[in-house]
Amino acid sequence: MALRMWASSTANALRISVASKTNLSSSYSLSRCFSSVLDGLKYATSHEWVKHEGSVATVGITDHAQDHLGEVVFVDLPETGTSVTQGKGFGAVESVKATSDVNSPISGEIVEVNSKLSEAPGLINNSPFDEGWIIKVKPSNASELDSLMGPKEYTKFCEEEDAAH
């Protein structure tokens, strides 16, 4: 948890340095080291996480994703009751700079959306794995989870992706 807090304070510091445009490339290379990955979650290559508990799977975007996106200003939420498909987009997250589609890591029916994000889209930046969750899904095929990455694999995936820079 301490590391996580350090990570977010580093991210905040970076955001300030990005805003003042002092040195973009160095702030970028620093940021790659500090995104956190949580145990117990599954991860998609398009940087969403899913947490399966009982009959419900909670979905959000990862710390890595929010960090690369920057300050989130708008979240385009889907409707409860609609269905989502693994690997297909269900909504979008807009930062001051770009709009990024959000894909569902699992197929099923949306049973709840995080309406708090309409008023407070910044929850995605401040608490990507907790208060910044986006939808809850009743999975139609829980075995799809097996095709996703675990925390170690995902950490490695992010490192490789950043190293490609």
Question: For binding to another protein (CB under 8 A), which residues are involved?
Answer: 18-19, 21, 24, 28, 46, 67-70, 74, 76, 87, 89, 92, 94-101, 103, 161-165
By beta-carbon proximity to another protein, the closer residue of 55 and 118 is 118
What torsion, rounded to 10 degrees, do the Cα atoms 105, 162, 67, 64 define? 30
By beta-carbon proximity to another protein, the closer residue of 10 and 111 is 10
- Taking the complex as a whole, the smallest distance from the CB of residue 98 to another protein amounts, in Å, to 4
- Taking the complex as a whole, the smallest distance from the CB of residue 91 to another protein amounts, in Å, to 10
By beta-carbon proximity to another protein, the closer residue of 94 and 111 is 94
- Which residue from 16, 27, 11, 104 is spatially nearest to 63, judged by alpha carbons? 11
- Which residue from 88, 79, 4 is spatially nearest to 48, judged by alpha carbons? 88
CA-based end-to-end distance of the chain: 29
- Taking the complex as a whole, the smallest distance from the CB of residue 2 to another protein amounts, in Å, to 25
- Taking the complex as a whole, the smallest distance from the CB of residue 72 to another protein amounts, in Å, to 11
Q: Do 15 and 24 meet the contact criterion of CB atoms below 8 Å apart?
A: no
